[in-house]
Amino acid sequence: MAGLVTPTSAVAQASEQPTTYRRMAEYLSSITAIDCHDHLRPFDALWGYVETERGRGMNLCGLWSTSYYQDPSHLTPWKSGDTFDTWWARAKPDFDNGRATTFYRYMLAAFRDLYGVDFDPISDSDARELDRRIFQNYRDHRWVESVVTERSNIELMIIDPYWSRLDYPTAYRFQARNLNTSSLLSGFHPSEYKDPHDDPYRFARERKMAVETLDDYLAVLDLLCKEAKERGAVCLTDDDTAYDRTLQFDNVPEERASRAFGRKRSELAPQEIKDFQDFIMRKLVGFAARHDLSYQIHTGMGRVQGSSPMLLVDLIEANPQTRFVIMHGGYPWMGETAAIAFTEIVRARNVWVDSCWLPMISYSAGKRALHEWLELIPSDRILWGSDSHHAEGIYAATEITRRCLGEVLAEKIDRGDLTEPQAERIGKQIMRDNALEAFPRLKALRWKG
């Protein structure tokens, strides 16, 4: 299997860095990590496969187009009938304006460490050979397994299947399951569901449950949470709502929410839809506590005008028995995220902050957040995740997180704020130990020791 042995590593790259950082980089790489958020599909259905002259598979275009680089930057898509040379001739200039972005630079570690290739810059012949090797690696499912568990040194990963929220298989031995609840907020009418894998009404029909009232619908949601736990879920996750609407979930009385139930979207005013969704979200948060499942919520970098974590404060304070995980550090509101965690830790100790995605959005913001968080909140309240779609993205996200955390800890050591043993303890907490406390059901899934 091509590409498994590499001429460089992240630790080797650290050899030119100051001594303290080098030691921290080596230590963080030795920690068997727990990744709290990812989107890795089953191998046969990975996002990014394209039709090539060699058949269907992953290639250089597939990796870049399913990384985060495509979000702010234009990337030429792969067309039917393309060869690598025809695609590359069109796509090569697409990187010129994005070379300083972290969404570009985080992926470079994967090409460097897994393939021994410097993508910045890269010759046409080297790009062609890189494309060939990527395609070859993805002909064998062991490539993904080896990159995640060996090269990235990850033991467990909470995989969020937003493409099939209510019905998906456990595809990997390192996979921990969740229940993505985003689609459940719009259950006021069956017509909301076009995909059967997101449809709570299908779930109800299969269990011969009548759904004629709002109370019936709540019973379905309660059973969904119960069965998700029985099938191994460690948390509930709302990863989509921040892209569609505000995160302010008001305390709506059931009578008002029930006005929307049984009516199509076209028959409802926007406020009636929001009332229903607000009510359901608050019920789901209560079900999370009932079934001892933590609740991950996407904040920041969604629908920016409504995704500040500050909007969640009332919801969090009304549910002190629920473990909340504020995802993505609330970017760009990292300071507000820390303030929420500080306040709620003092009050109920039910909030964790998750840096997943943050070091990829902006490396500088990631460092700034970790410095500030460690100065304000206990170190046992910080999590991380790779938030990626393929093996190379997972490796790259893990490496940039370790680098970001390593630099922060090294700077605190050199400044005299921490001793090296104290910094090592914090590094292990963030990369592994904290996940076992935020998601207690992960403890039973450990397989590396």
Q: Where are the domains of the chain?
A: 47-137, 153-445
Compute φ and ψ for 409, nearest 5 degrees.
Answer: -65, -40
DSSP collapsed to 3 states, 285-306? HHHHHHCCCEEEEECCCCCHHH
**Amino acid in position 77:** P
Residue 168 pLDDT: 80
Tell whether the model's pLDDT for residue 9 goes beyond 60.
no
Residue 13 pLDDT: 58
- Span 68-111, pLDDT tens digits: 998 888 999 999 889 999 999 999 999 999 999 999 999 999 99
In whole angstroms, what separates CA 107 from the centre of its chain? Answer: 16
How far is the C-alpha of 77 from the C-alpha of 75, rounded, in Å?
A: 6
pTM of the model: 0.94
Residue 169 pLDDT: 83
**Amino acid in position 58:** M
* Average model confidence (pLDDT) across the chain: 95
Output the CATH code of domain 153-445. Answer: 3.20.20.140
- Span 374-427, pLDDT tens digits: 999 999 999 999 999 999 999 999 999 999 999 999 999 999 999 999 999 999
In whole angstroms, what separates CA 411 from the centre of its chain? Answer: 27
CB 244 within 8 A of CB 304: no
How much is the CA Rg of the chain, to the nearest whole Å? 22
**Considering the chain, what percentage of its residues have pLDDT values greater than 90?**
91
Structure tokens, 378: 């206990």
Among 12-16, 51-55, 430-434, the range scoring the smallest mean pLDDT is 12-16
**Considering the chain, what percentage of its residues have pLDDT values greater than 70?**
96
Residue 146 pLDDT: 98
3-state secondary structure of 441: helix
Write out the E strands in 153-300. Answer: 154-159, 175-180, 233-238, 294-298
- Span 286-345, pLDDT tens digits: 999 999 999 999 999 988 999 999 999 999 999 999 999 999 999 999 999 999 999 998
Tell whether the model's pLDDT for residue 4 goes beyond 90.
no
How far is the C-alpha of 322 from the C-alpha of 325, rounded, in Å?
A: 10
